[in-house]
Amino acid sequence: MTEITVAALQLALTDDIQTNIDHVSALVEDAASQGAQIILPPELFEGHYFCATEDEGCFARAKPTAEHPAILAMQKLAKRLKVTIPTSFFEKDGPHYYNSLATINPDGEIMGVYRKSHIPDGPGYEEKFYFRPGNTGFKVWDCYGIKIGVGICWDQWYPETARAMMLMGAELLFFPTAIGNEPHDPDLDTSRLWRRAMIGHAVSNVVPVIASNRIGAEGDLCFYGHSFITDQRGDLVQAFGKTESGVLVSRFDIEQIRKHRAAFGFFRDRRPDLYQRISEDK
């Protein structure tokens, strides 16, 4: 298979996990009815974005992968619809807590778990209080004979994330997200920057990028949506604004994209012998 249809979901979320699962499931069904084979919900769709404040009671939300209600629900849905669903969730692993993602295949099986590598810490996004830095390394998965890479929210701002997954063979990049206004600076609208950062990944790696965000107000945070799908040229082929709820669906010819990537020569002309400074921790 060289053609693949992908989808991104955008919606407002409540703080009731079953309500959210129901709403996400309805959109997954909608996307599947339009032919989508890989369907991306937003980051941590199980509830409100609890990382806006530091509250030790929120650790009770986390569950092991095999017991998490969102994972169990998406497994059943993926199997019934015969689709792949990269599913973000709050993971508990013994005494450790991670912002994680399980990629669920059309048989309802978990192909693997990725744990968010870059953990933000700032006003409204105090994730270091809750999550350990991921220890899985970046991940790619074979879906329908096409490799996909998935980063989680803050990962998407780092060009190293996209390039690492591309070097691992990724041919589509997915980024589930929970991002909105900046409480410390009401005049700062990062939605444009957010899109540009990922569009840059598309252009410099000649790869489609699929980004899914939530919308709506949750406490002091107002999530700005703007979910999108861009092609390998960095052109937006599907996009939402800040208030729409629904699905974005696009189809890509991966074989054609492979030809474009080879022709650009970005991977031919790499000079890793000059890049040691990037991996130095100072």
Q: Out of 43, 91, 171, 218, which one is annotated catalytic? A: 43
- Listed in sequence order, the DSSP H helices in the chain are 17-33, 69-81, 159-167, 191-205, 254-264
Q: Out of 46, 51, 92, 116, which one is annotated catalytic? A: 116
116 is catalytic: yes
139 is catalytic: no
Contacts of 192 (CB under 8 A, 6+ apart): none
Contacts of 43 (CB under 8 A, 6+ apart): 88, 99, 152, 153, 176, 177, 178, 212, 213, 214
CA torsion sign for 161, 162, 167, 173 is positive
DSSP strand pairing (96-104 vs 85-93):
antiparallel
43 is catalytic: yes
| 101 bridge partner residues | 88, 114
Tokens of 262: 């080879």
The interaxial angle of helices 69-81 and 17-33, nearest 10 deg, is 20
Using alpha carbons, select from 77, 76, 80, 98 the residue that is nearest to residue 88.
98
Q: What is the residue type of 277? A: R
Distance of CA 23 to the CA centre of its chain: 18
Q: Out of 51, 139, 143, 153, which one is annotated catalytic? A: 153
Catalytically active residues are: 43, 116, 153
